[in-house]
């Protein structure tokens, strides 16, 4: 999606809905064991939970260490990992991750209230692939050398889980689980999730439930949204949004043992007051004492004050050209769950402010972390967003949803990936590796994470081959679960689709007026774009990973809400399902699908494709034609069982009346007519008897069954009466 369209959607406000509560690792510090051992008494591994776990299920560990490094997210400062000895004798090394735990609950006025719970620390999450006894130990590497923790043992037992999604070992154009069970994508985008979005966290969890209940199994979710929604690594600043005005920053030179810094300038005729605007709402606890502090330097007789909800906290301060510590305390009321408006004000001159901080007066984690003017954007992983993603992965696990996680914030890296030989290119590659390591450590355990997607819509002209190669090789080192890797570009890019270190090919395309007649026919457009990507990615999974109705400026098409029957949606789903792609077209406008309760469109197509042998029969587009000229027949055919030279023995069809496209019905107001006595002739079949099922595409049910004979390589099928479309399965008897 383009930047303009993203920002349009970023302004969308949420409606209020109830949902389930997600609590992850809220009080893990209390679970840390206290005994010591020979060597390093401050370095300890402990199990968080019972010492038994199901195969492919999560088991979690806390790691106590006396050092976190200058940057706990950077393995160059502190490299923490856990080594697992498997039942078969293999050694697996999994990176640990630094985490701020949160509690989450529903409070008055905020159904997604979350608050730091305890101090941050290191943890590890693991999912065993073997059944049996495991042992593990933590390993720390830092400037002091290498240290090992105590050993911990646990047992993995059988579970019904199928493992991780991967490229099919039977036919690389499709997906399967570790145990060989086939998987066909039925899903959409649900990209922007956050406080300022229509899809707040709890509402997104509700959408996961609705999607799963209607047969959808796949979502493309962004964890790269800059400061308008969830982003692991992005500019989250209390000093203005990425797209808007920002205050004046001034450099503070190093001195008195302090490193160089930056300060916010307050005061003057145009900026007497500055509003502190964190991207995340700053939540508080009722009946609690808090302390606001900062380092402040005022010029001359200027006076500085902090105002909370329009009221000054104490008397103004004057430091007269010297840096001084500023502290003010306040207490929340019995019903106060958030900070409210926070302003910095300087009267009579200028003030400089740095190290602005908010903590509980009794101590605890930083609540106003977005005010840190010295925090690097790259290499810092936003903990509230990471917690949100924890909750979404949990929701995916609960509802049978598999995620394509877009994890690299494109605009932090795109400019520096312009020249493969430049130092800034190399630095960008290394910086992304930190993010990849963290992602594997925190979310890689989950089979619901189907694939890592590097970028949303990278510039296809950028020389990204080196980056994808190096990141792919790095994933192969650190991702013990072997998740698939993907990316996307803002235009067709065969260079990415054929890259050996990318496991799939993603194409984004919208029904826009600029495309002329193709934009008026969702089925024809889906088939046209499917052929484009499949012709390049002949031996890879391929998806229309963004699809939808848009205007020529990439905004929401006004026709989407006029299409009350979701005809554009229905036609694209069915056409793409029978196109030879690895899944259905994935729609972008998730908030409109949710508002219009369009999730029911997934259930019929999901039921139809559930037993289709995409990989096992090597299904490919096949020739079929109808007796009625207006009927478009989309067919996949292949061979079940042992291949023979006598032709295909299974065919799957979607028959669509091309006279009644979404445009004809919605815009031209043409009423669809029923089709009767239509026949479809299928060529290239093995001789013999075939079972035929005709499916109602609105209900997802079989409406007619019969047996037909194929002779001379063809069979003629008679469709039941239908309006707009019908689907059909033709499988040789005995297969």
Burial class (CB in 10 A: 0-12, 13-18, 19+), 414: middle
Closest CA to 541 of 196, 170, 224, 287: 170
Residue linked to tokens 């002739």 = 681
Q: Where are the beta strands (DSSP E) in 362-448?
A: 402-406
Q: Where are the beta strands (DSSP E) in 332-395?
A: 342-347, 350-360
Please give the torsion angle defined by the CA atoms of residues 504, 505, 511 and 515, in that order, rounded to the nearest 10 degrees: -170
Where residue 29 falls among pLDDT bands split at 50, 70, 90? very low
Beta bridge partners of 311: 308
- Compute the radius of gyration of the chain from its Cα atoms: 29
Minimum mean pLDDT range among 14-23, 90-99, 449-458: 14-23
Beta bridge partners of 185: 583
The architecture in CATH of the region 617-735 reads Sandwich (2.60)
Closest CA to 311 of 287, 343, 338: 343
Buried b (16+ CB within 10 A) or exposed e, 370-405: bbbbeeeebbbbbbbbbbbbbbbbbbbbebebbbbb
* φ/ψ bin of 238: left (φ > 0), alpha (ψ from -120 to 50), beta (otherwise): alpha
Token pair of 14 as six digits: 């949420």
CA angle 239, 327, 360 (to 5 degrees): 80
pLDDT digits (tens, 9 = 90+) for 542-582: 999 999 999 999 999 999 999 999 999 999 999 999 999 99
Closest CA to 608 of 639, 668, 647, 653: 653
State how far the Cα of 683 lies from the Cα of 679, in Å rounded to an integer: 13
Q: Of residues 19 and 512, which shows the higher confidence score? A: 512
* φ/ψ bin of 569: left (φ > 0), alpha (ψ from -120 to 50), beta (otherwise): alpha
State how far the Cα of 719 lies from the Cα of 704, in Å rounded to an integer: 8
H helix or E strand, kind and range, residue 251: strand 248-252
509 and 527 Cβ atoms separated by less than 8 Å: no
H helix or E strand, kind and range, residue 453: strand 449-453
Token pair of 707 as six digits: 């047996």
DSSP 8-state symbol, 498:
T
Return the HEC string of 270-319. Answer: CCCEEEECCCCCCECCCCCEEEEEEEEEECCCCEEEEEECCEECCCCECC
488 and 454 Cβ atoms separated by less than 8 Å: no
Mean pLDDT of 653-661: 98
pLDDT digits (tens, 9 = 90+) for 679-718: 999 999 999 999 999 999 999 999 999 999 998 889 999 9
State how far the Cα of 68 lies from the Cα of 32, in Å rounded to an integer: 16
pLDDT digits (tens, 9 = 90+) for 175-212: 999 999 999 999 999 999 999 999 999 999 999 999 99
Q: Does the structure show a pLDDT above 80 at 23?
A: no
State how far the Cα of 166 lies from the Cα of 186, in Å rounded to an integer: 16
Buried b (16+ CB within 10 A) or exposed e, 55-79: bbbbbbbbbbbebbbeebbbbeebb
Residue linked to tokens 């698939």 = 484
- Please tell me whether residue 166 adopts helix, strand or coil conformation: strand
- CA–centroid distance for 558 within its chain: 27
Distance set, CA 106 to CA 112, 114, 167, 202, 383 (Å): 6, 9, 40, 10, 19
Q: Does the structure show a pLDDT above 60 at 18?
A: no
pLDDT at 268: 87
Burial class (CB in 10 A: 0-12, 13-18, 19+), 655: buried
pLDDT at 93: 98
Distance set, CA 39 to CA 31, 44, 553 (Å): 22, 11, 63
DSSP 8-state symbol, 210:
H
Q: Does the structure show a pLDDT above 70 at 101?
A: yes
Closest CA to 649 of 680, 613, 674: 613
Distance set, CA 519 to CA 90, 388, 585 (Å): 54, 36, 15
Where residue 624 falls among pLDDT bands split at 50, 70, 90? very high
The architecture in CATH of the region 32-161 reads Sandwich (2.60)
Contact residues for 712 (Cβ-Cβ < 8 A; gap 6+): 687
State how far the Cα of 409 lies from the Cα of 711, in Å rounded to an integer: 57
Mean pLDDT of 606-623: 97
Q: Does the structure show a pLDDT above 80 at 12?
A: no
Residues, the chain: 735
Range with the largest mean pLDDT of 41-50, 476-485, 705-714:
476-485
Q: Does the structure show a pLDDT above 50 at 21?
A: no
pLDDT at 41: 61
pLDDT at 4: 41
Give pTM, 2 decimals: 0.93
Beta-carbon-side half-sphere exposure of residue 630 (alpha carbons within 13 Å):
14
State how far the Cα of 654 lies from the Cα of 717, in Å rounded to an integer: 13
pLDDT at 1: 60
| The domains spanning 32-161 and 617-735 adopt the same CATH topology | yes
Q: Where are the alpha helices (DSSP H) in 444-502?
A: 465-478, 494-497
- Please tell me whether residue 385 adopts helix, strand or coil conformation: helix
pLDDT digits (tens, 9 = 90+) for 274-322: 999 999 999 999 999 999 999 999 998 999 999 999 999 999 999 988 9
Q: Which CATH superfamily is domain 248-371 in?
A: Galactose-binding domain-like (2.60.120.260)
State how far the Cα of 11 lies from the Cα of 14, in Å rounded to an integer: 10
Residue 47 neighbours by CB distance under 10 Å: 17
pLDDT digits (tens, 9 = 90+) for 205-241: 999 999 999 999 999 999 999 999 999 999 999 999 9
User: Which backbone phi and psi does 354 adopt, to 5 degrees?
Assistant: -145, 170
164 and 57 Cβ atoms separated by less than 8 Å: no
Token pair of 512 as six digits: 């826009």
Where residue 117 falls among pLDDT bands split at 50, 70, 90? very high
pLDDT at 69: 83
Distance set, CA 75 to CA 141, 435, 438, 690 (Å): 8, 11, 10, 60
Token pair of 542 as six digits: 């391929």
Pairing of strands 218-222, 187-189: parallel
pLDDT at 40: 53
Would you list the domain boundaries of the chain?
32-161, 166-231+380-616, 248-371, 617-735
- CATH number for the region 166-231+380-616 comes to 3.20.20.80
Please give the torsion angle defined by the CA atoms of residues 526, 532, 535 and 540, in that order, rounded to the nearest 10 degrees: -70
Where residue 34 falls among pLDDT bands split at 50, 70, 90? very low
């Amino acid at each position: 999606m383009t930047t303009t369209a993203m920002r349009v959607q970023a302004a969308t406000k949420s409606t209020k809905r109830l949902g389930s509560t997600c609590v992850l690792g809220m009080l893990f510090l209390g679970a840390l064991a206290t005994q010591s051992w020979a060597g390093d008494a401050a370095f300890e591994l402990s199990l968080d939970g019972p010492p038994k776990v199901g195969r492919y299920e999560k088991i979690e560990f806390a790691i106590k260490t006396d050092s976190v490094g200058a940057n706990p997210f950077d393995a160059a400062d502190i490299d923490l990992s856990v080594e697992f000895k498997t039942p078969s004798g293999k050694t697996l090394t999994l990176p640990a991750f630094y985490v701020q735990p949160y509690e989450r609950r529903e409070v008055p006025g905020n159904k997604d209230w979350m608050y730091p719970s305890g101090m941050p620390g290191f943890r590890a999450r693991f999912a065993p692939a073997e059944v049996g006894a495991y042992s593990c130990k933590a390993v720390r590497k830092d400037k002091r050398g290498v240290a090992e923790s105590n050993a911990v043992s646990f047992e993995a037992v059988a579970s019904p889980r199928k493992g991780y999604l991967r490229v099919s070992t039977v036919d690389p154009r499709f997906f399967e689980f570790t145990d060989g069970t086939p998987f066909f994508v039925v899903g959409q985008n649900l990209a922007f999730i956050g406080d300022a979005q229509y899809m707040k966290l709890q509402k997104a969890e509700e959408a996961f439930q609705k999607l799963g209940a209607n047969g959808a199994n796949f979502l493309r979710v962004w964890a790269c949204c800059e400061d308008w929604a969830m982003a692991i690594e992005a500019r989250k600043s209390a000093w203005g949004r990425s797209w808007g005005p920002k205050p004046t920053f001034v450099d503070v030179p190093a001195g008195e043992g302090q490193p160089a810094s930056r300060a916010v300038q307050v005061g003057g005729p145009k900026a007497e007051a500055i509003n502190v605007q964190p991207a995340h709402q700053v939540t508080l606890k009722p009946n609690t004492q808090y302390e606001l502090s900062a380092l402040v330097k005022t010029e001359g007789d200027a006076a500085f004050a902090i105002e909370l909800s329009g009221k000054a906290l104490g008397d103004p301060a004057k430091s007269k050209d010297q840096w001084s510590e500023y502290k003010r305390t306040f207490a929340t009321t019995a019903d106060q769950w958030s900070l409210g408006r926070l302003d910095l004000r300087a009267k009579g001159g200028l003030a400089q402010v740095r190290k602005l901080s908010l903590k509980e007066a009794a101590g605890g984690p930083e609540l106003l972390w977005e005010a840190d003017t010295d925090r690097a954007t790259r290499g810092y992983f936003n903990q509230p967003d990471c917690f949100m993603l924890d909750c979404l992965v949990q929701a995916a696990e609960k509802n049978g949803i598999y995620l394509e996680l877009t994890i690299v914030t494109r605009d932090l890296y795109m400019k520096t990936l312009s020249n493969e030989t430049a130092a800034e290119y190399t630095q960008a590659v290394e910086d992304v590796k930190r993010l990849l390591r963290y992602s594997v450590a925190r979310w890689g355990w989950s089979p619901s994470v189907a694939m890592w997607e590097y970028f949303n819509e990278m510039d296809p002209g950028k020389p990204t081959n080196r980056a994808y190669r190096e990141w792919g090789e790095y994933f192969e080192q650190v991702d013990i679960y072997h998740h698939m890797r993907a990316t996307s570009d803002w235009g067709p890019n065969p260079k990415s689709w054929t890259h050996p270190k990318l496991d799939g090919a993603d194409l984004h395309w919208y029904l826009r007026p600029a495309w002329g007649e193709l934009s008026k026919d969702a089925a024809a457009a889906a088939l046209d774009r499917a052929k484009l990507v499949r012709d390049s990615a002949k031996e890879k999974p391929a998806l229309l990973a963004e699809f939808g109705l848009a205007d020529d400026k990439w905004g929401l098409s006004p026709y989407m809400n006029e299409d009350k029957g979701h005809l554009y949606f229905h036609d694209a789903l069915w056409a793409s399902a029978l196109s030879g792609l690895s899944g259905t077209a994935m729609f972008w406008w998730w908030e409109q699908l949710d508002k219009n309760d369009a999730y029911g469109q997934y259930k019929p197509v999901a039921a139809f494709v559930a037993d289709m042998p995409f990989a096992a029969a090597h299904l490919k587009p096949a020739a079929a034609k109808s007796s009625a000229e207006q009927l478009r027949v989309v067919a996949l055919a292949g061979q079940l069982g042992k291949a023979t030279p006598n032709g295909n023995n299974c065919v799957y069809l979607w028959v669509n009346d091309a006279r009644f496209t979404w445009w004809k019905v919605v815009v031209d107001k043409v009423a669809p007519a029923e089709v009767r006595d239509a026949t479809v002739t299928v060529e290239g079949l093995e001789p013999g008897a075939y079972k035929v099922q005709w499916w109602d595409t609105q209900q997802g049910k079989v409406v007619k069954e019969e047996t037909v004979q194929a002779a001379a390589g063809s069979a003629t099928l008679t469709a039941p009466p239908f309006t707009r479309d019908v689907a059909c399965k033709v499988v040789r008897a005995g297969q």
